[in-house]
Amino acid sequence: MSIVVEDLALGGSGPLVMVKDTIDIAGYPTRASSHALVDAPAASEHAQVVQAVLDAGCRITGKTSLHELAFGTTGLNAWAGTAANPRYPGYIPGGSSSGSAAAVAAGLCDFALGTDTGGSVRIPAACCGVFGLKPTFGRVSRKGVMPARSSLDCVGPLARDMDSLIVGMHVIDATFKVAAVPQNLSIGVVAVQANEQVHAVVNQALERSRFTLTEQSLPGMLAAYGAGMAVINAETWAACGHLLETGRVGQDVADRLRAASLTSAESVADAERVRRAFTAEVDAALAITPILAMPTMPDFPLLVADAADTRAALGMTSLVRAFNLSGHPALSIPLQSASGLPVGLQLIAAHGADELLCAVGRELVRRLEE
C-alpha cells in the first residue's frame, strides 16, 4: 500500500512537507502515479510552490502517490498501489490527492501539498480525517504543476490541524496572512442532498460552533456539477489523451479518458455559461453570509472492496466540484460520526477571502474542542 513514491531530503530544518507527484521537483520525474509516465524525464526545475516551500526553510521528505493522472476520486491505483487510509483502515483514502492525505493522517509530515480540480484535496481530506484547503482559483501558482493548463485546478495544503494548514498556506502564498474572525459572523447553511447521518454530524457541529446560522440555498449546484464535469473532461483529455497510445493507462482511467474524448465544444460552451451564472449565485449568497457551509461528501467513504468502479464513485464529488467551477475557496474540516466513520464539514468563502475562511475554520474547531 503506497503513500510515498519517492523518498527525499531537500531543504532546511523547518516543517516536514510531502508533495503530490503531479508537482515538479527538479531532478525527479513527475509520473502522476501512472505507468504511462514510467519513462518520464526528470523535471528540470522546481514548480513555483516547491521553490516557495524550500525558500521558507521547510524540508521536503517525499513525493506522494495519487489516483492515476489525478483523474479519479477513490485513490485506488493498481499500478502504483493504493495508499492505505491510516485512520480508517479498509476505507478508501479518497482521490486524487490520496497519498498526501494519507501521509498527513499517518503523521509522516507537518503538511502536504495536493491539487484540487474537482474535489481532489477536500475529498481525501474528508476520507482520511484531516484538514484540506482548496484556495481561491489562481491564488497559488500552478507553474510546474500537471496539467500545465487548467481553469479548475488549485494547489492546496492538507494538514492534521488548522494551525499547520495555515502555516502551509502561508508558505505557498506569501500574501496569505493570519486573520481574525469578525464579531457576529453568520454562516449560511446550504440545503443539499446527503445521507441523514452525515447531515446530523455536520448540523450538530455547526450548532455547537455557536456561530449565527442562516438557511441558504444554491439552486444552481446541480448544473454547476455537470458543467464542472464537462470542463474537467475536456481539459484532461487535452492534457492526457495522448497517453492512451502507450497502452499503459489503468483500465479505470482509460475508460474515463475515452468517455472524456466525446466532450463536445458545445458542452464546454454551455459549461462556461453555467460557470458565470453559478459564480454570480455563490457571490450573492456570500453577500448575505460571508461563509457558506455544507458536508464535504454526501455519504461516508466507500470500503476499498466496494470502490472498483471509478465512474460509479464520481457522486462523491457532488458537493465539492461546483466550487472548482466557480473558483471560490473551500475548506474541509474533519468530523466523525457516532459509528466512528469520517465526515467532512465544508466551508466556502468569497474569492480572495482565504484568510477569513481559515480563521473561521480554526475558531470553529476551537469551539468544538471546548
Residues carrying an active site annotation: 20, 96, 120
Q: Among 38, 53, 27, which residue's Cα sits nearest to residue 113? A: 53
* Torsion sign (Cα): 164, 179, 198, 301: negative
Residue 229 to residue 234: CA distance in whole angstroms: 9
Q: What are phi and psi of 115, to 5 degrees?
A: -130, 150
> Can you list the alpha helix ranges (DSSP code H) found in 106-250?
122-128, 162-172, 196-208, 221-240
| β partners of residue 303 | 91
Angle in degrees, CA 42, 46, 47, rounded to 5: 110
Amino acid found at 112: A
Round the CA-based radius of gyration of the chain to a whole number and report it: 19
Reduced to 3 states, what is the DSSP secondary structure of residue 21? Answer: coil
Reduced to 3 states, what is the DSSP secondary structure of residue 241? Answer: helix
* Torsion sign (Cα): 318, 361, 278, 325: negative
- The residue written with cell numbers 498501489 in the block is 81
Residue 113 to residue 208: CA distance in whole angstroms: 30
Residue 23 to residue 29: CA distance in whole angstroms: 10
Residue 109 to residue 107: CA distance in whole angstroms: 6
C-alpha cell at 151: 481553469
CB 295 within 8 A of CB 273: no
Q: What are phi and psi of 90, to 5 degrees?
A: 90, -15
Residue 324 to residue 219: CA distance in whole angstroms: 16
